[in-house]
C-alpha cells in the first residue's frame, strides 16, 4: 500500500493486489456495508484490474488517519476496544452465510459443515498427522450440534480483527480506536465465529489478552459461550495451519519458506 498526496492536500491510499485470492471488489463491497457503523474506514473510490494504467491490479481508497494498533500491544485498553468494535461490526445483519458479496448458505450448519470438510481436507493434504486430524475432527463432530444452532444468524465478520488492522489515537488508558482497515477476509458468519477468530489472533499478538477482548465485547448470546468459542477456535486453527503451509510460512517439501515469517511465527508461539 502507498499513500498518495494530491495537489490539493487530499491523501489517498493506493492498494495493490498481487495474488489471485485478493479480490478488490469483495473488499469494496465489505467496506460499503459499514456505512452505519461508527468507525472510520476506507471508502473505495476506484478499482482497476485491467493492468492498463498500472502493471498490477489496484484500488484507490480514502485515507484514514491514526497510528497502527500494533504500536500499543502493551495497552489493555486497545484489546477491550477491539472487543467493542467487534460488537459494533456484528450489529450489521446479512442475508446468508459465506463469502461476500453473495453468501451462498442459508444456514450456519450448512456453512460450517462445508467449511470444515474443506479445512480438514486441506489439513491432511498439507501433511498433518492423520491421527491428530481424526482426533480434532472427532471433537468437532462431538460439539457440532450443541454449538451450531438453528437460531444462528449471519452478521458482518471482519475475520481478521487484530491490532495491525485498527488505527488508534492516544496513549495508555486513553488509547481509542479511530479506524478499521483491511477487508480482504470479510465474510458473513455468526458473531461467535468471528469473535473466536478475533480472540485467536489477538492472543497470537499478546498471549493472555483474550479476557480483555471479551470484556470489551460484553454478553454473548449463546447457551454455552465457552464451548462455542473453543469449537470455532479449533476450526480456525486447522484453517490457519494449512494456510501457513500453503503460503510457505510453515515448510513443506514443495514450498519455499519465508524464513523471517517463519521465525516470527515461531517466536510468537513460543
Beta strands in 128-265 (DSSP E): 155-157, 166-169, 176-180, 187-189
- The predicted model scores a pTM of 0.89
**How confident is the model at residue 170, as a pLDDT?**
82
* Cell representation of residue 46: 476506484
**How confident is the model at residue 261, as a pLDDT?**
42
Which helix (H) or strand (E) segment is 249 a member of? none
Q: CA-CA distance, 194 to 187, in Å (whole number)?
A: 9
**How confident is the model at residue 256, as a pLDDT?**
47
2-5 β-sheet, strand order: 2-5, 11-17, 57-62, 44-48
Superfamily in which the 67-269 domain is placed by CATH: Aminoglycoside phosphotransferase (APH), C-terminal lobe (3.90.1200.10)
| Angle, alpha carbons 97-99-101 (nearest 5°) | 100
Cβ-based neighbour number of residue 99 at 10 Å: 15
**How confident is the model at residue 243, as a pLDDT?**
94
Return residue ranges of the chain for CATH 3.30.200.20. Answer: 2-62
Give the C-alpha distances (Å, rounded to integers) separating 266 from 69, 73, 179, 212, 219: 22, 18, 29, 24, 34
* Architecture of the domain spanning 2-62: 2-Layer Sandwich (3.30)
Return residue ranges of the chain for CATH 3.90.1200.10. Answer: 67-269
SS3 263: helix
- Those residues of the chain that have pLDDT short of 50 are 255-270
**How confident is the model at residue 173, as a pLDDT?**
65
**How confident is the model at residue 36, as a pLDDT?**
83
For 74-96, b where at least 16 C-beta lie within 10 A, e where not — what string? ebbbbbbbbbbbbebbbebebeb
Amino acid at each position: 500500500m502507498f499513500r498518495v498526496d494530491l495537489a490539493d492536500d487530499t491523501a489517498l491510499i493506493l492498494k495493490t493486489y498481487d495474488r489471485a485470492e485478493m479480490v478488490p471488489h469483495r473488499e469494496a463491497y465489505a467496506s460499503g456495508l459499514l456505512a452505519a457503523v461508527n468507525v472510520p474506514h476506507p471508502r473505495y473510490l476506484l478499482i482497476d484490474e485491467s493492468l492498463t494504467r498500472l502493471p498490477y491490479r489496484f484500488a484507490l481508497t480514502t485515507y484514514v488517519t491514526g497510528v497502527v494498533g500494533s504500536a500499543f500491544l502493551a495497552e489493555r485498553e486497545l484489546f477491550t476496544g477491539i472487543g467493542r468494535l467487534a460488537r459494533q461490526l456484528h450489529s450489521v445483519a446479512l442475508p446468508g452465510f459465506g463469502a461476500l458479496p453473495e453468501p451462498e448458505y442459508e444456514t450456519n450448519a450448512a456453512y460450517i459443515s462445508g467449511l470444515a470438510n474443506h479445512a480438514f481436507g486441506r489439513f491432511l493434504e498439507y501433511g498433518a498427522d492423520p491421527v491428530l486430524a481424526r482426533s480434532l475432527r472427532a471433537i468437532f463432530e462431538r460439539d457440532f450440534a450443541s454449538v451450531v444452532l438453528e437460531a444462528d444468524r449471519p452478521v458482518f465478520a471482519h475475520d481478521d480483527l487484530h491490532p495491525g488492522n485498527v488505527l488508534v489515537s492516544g496513549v495508555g488508558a486513553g488509547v481509542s480506536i479511530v479506524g478499521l482497515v483491511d477487508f480482504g477476509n470479510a465474510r458473513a458468519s455468526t458473531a461467535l465465529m468471528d469473535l473466536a477468530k478475533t480472540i485467536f489472533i489477538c492472543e497470537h499478538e499478546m498471549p493472555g489478552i483474550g479476557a480483555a477482548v471479551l470484556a470489551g465485547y460484553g454478553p454473548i448470546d449463546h447457551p454455552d459461550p465457552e464451548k462455542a468459542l473453543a469449537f470455532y477456535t479449533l476450526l480456525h486453527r486447522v484453517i490457519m495451519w494449512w494456510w501457513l503451509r500453503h503460503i510457505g510460512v510453515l515448510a513443506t517439501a514443495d514450498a519455499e519458506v519465508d524464513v523471517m515469517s517463519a521465525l516470527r511465527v515461531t517466536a510468537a508461539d513460543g
